[in-house]
Structures are given as structure tokens and as C-alpha cells.
Amino acid sequence: MREYKLTDAESKLADIIWQKEPISSPDLVRLCDAKLEWKKSTTYTMLKKLEIKELFKNDKGVVKSLLSKEDFFAEQTGQIVKNGFDGSFPKFLAAFARRKKLSNKEILEIQKLIDEHKEV
């Protein structure tokens, strides 16, 4: 499993791209200037870091994701389960549920996921 760890700045840029993709690199520069007060060079430096991590690609001036936001967070969650809970999803879920009581809606959603992904 590939490790996907982002800095705060990388996360901010990734969120902008996921929200607006596909986006031209000049439009991305303008957005980053408006939202993050970044200079053009900062935007391109941060984009390059995300390209190296194989999350995004700037192809002929159009920036697109190579990994969806949902897939990115699924990978991160998998790493947390693997590294922090000995690969045990039940241990992860138990730790998560200890922080607060689960609502009936959350329990039904979890049960639905279990049913959909159950080994037969």
C-alpha cells in the first residue's frame, strides 16, 4: 500500500483541485492566490509535490486527479488500521465508537456496509 501523507498546505491545494477539477493551471494559480494568498511559484511548487506523490497530474496546463478524494481517504484509513490497529478493522471501529455513542442512523449505515462487503 502506497503511503499518502500530506502537509497542511498540500491538503489545502488538494481540496481545491478535487473541488474544481479539471482545472487549468492558470485558473488554479488564481484560486490559490484568492483563497490561500499564494504566489504563482508557491502554487506550482506545491502542485509538483502532489504530482510526485502521484495524486494529481498537470497535463498540458490542465490539472486532474489521479486518485479521487474518496480513494485517497480510503487509502489513509487503511494505513491507520494497518499501522495502529494491527490491521484489525473491528479494533479500529471499537476505538472510533468509544469517542461517542453511535446514532441509529450510523449503526444502520455500518450494518449496510458490513452486509455489502461480507465474505460468503
**Which residue in the block uniquely carries the three cell numbers 449496510?**
112
Q: What is the pLDDT of residue 30?
A: 98
Same structural domain for residues 53 and 79?
no
Same structural domain for residues 58 and 94?
no
Q: What is the pLDDT of residue 42?
A: 98
Nearest by Cα to 11 from 53, 41, 39, 40? 53
Q: What is the pLDDT along the chain (120 residues), one digit of tens a residue?
A: 466 789 999 999 999 999 999 999 999 999 999 999 999 999 999 999 999 999 999 999 999 999 999 999 999 888 899 999 999 988 998 898 888 888 999 999 999 999 998 887
In a domain, 1, yes or no: no
Nearest by Cα to 4 from 76, 64, 85, 52? 76
Count of the separate structural domains present in the chain? 2
Which structural domain range is residue 47 located in? 8-67
How much is the pTM? 0.80
Which residues is 65 bridged to in the sheet? 56
Q: What is the pLDDT of residue 51?
A: 95
In a domain, 88, yes or no: yes
Same structural domain for residues 40 and 52?
yes
